[in-house]
């Protein structure tokens, strides 16, 4: 993975929490990010064609249980495949 580009309307707790949706490509990239262990640069979308670099992050944990996903799904009003909990590359 080269970087993570995240919309805050779909991921209101980004960059600490990323909410991948449903679909083969989305889920494949989310799994790759979760398994790689290496940090990646994370960019948040601030406006059309305006991305802000917010640091390098790695996946700390992944939640896949329906009970864990449900509150996030209700908050963003879309189906989710998992929840990725990120931490800064420095671990702080």
pLDDT beyond 70 at 47: yes
Mean pLDDT of the region 16-21: 97
SS3 for 40? strand
Distances (CA, A) of 4 to 14, 25, 32, 45, 84: 11, 14, 12, 11, 12
- Domains in the chain: how many in total? 1
Predicted TM-score (pTM) of this structure: 0.90
Over residues 55-72, the pLDDT tens digits come to: 999 999 999 999 999 999
pLDDT beyond 70 at 78: yes
The predicted structure's pLDDT at residue 90: 80
Nearest to 75 by CA among 25, 28, 19: 19
Structural domain of 31: 4-88
Q: What is the DSSP letter of 68?
A: H
């Amino acid at each position: 993975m080269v970087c993570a580009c995240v919309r805050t309307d779909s991921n209101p707790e980004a960059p600490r929490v990323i909410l991948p949706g449903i679909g083969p490509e989305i889920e494949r990239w989310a799994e790759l990010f979760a398994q790689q262990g290496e940090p990646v640069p994370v960019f948040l979308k601030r406006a059309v064609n305006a991305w802000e670099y917010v640091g390098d992050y790695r996946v700390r944990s992944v939640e896949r249980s329906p009970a864990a996903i449900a509150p996030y799904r209700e908050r963003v009003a879309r189906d989710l495949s998992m929840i990725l909990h990120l931490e800064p590359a420095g671990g702080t």
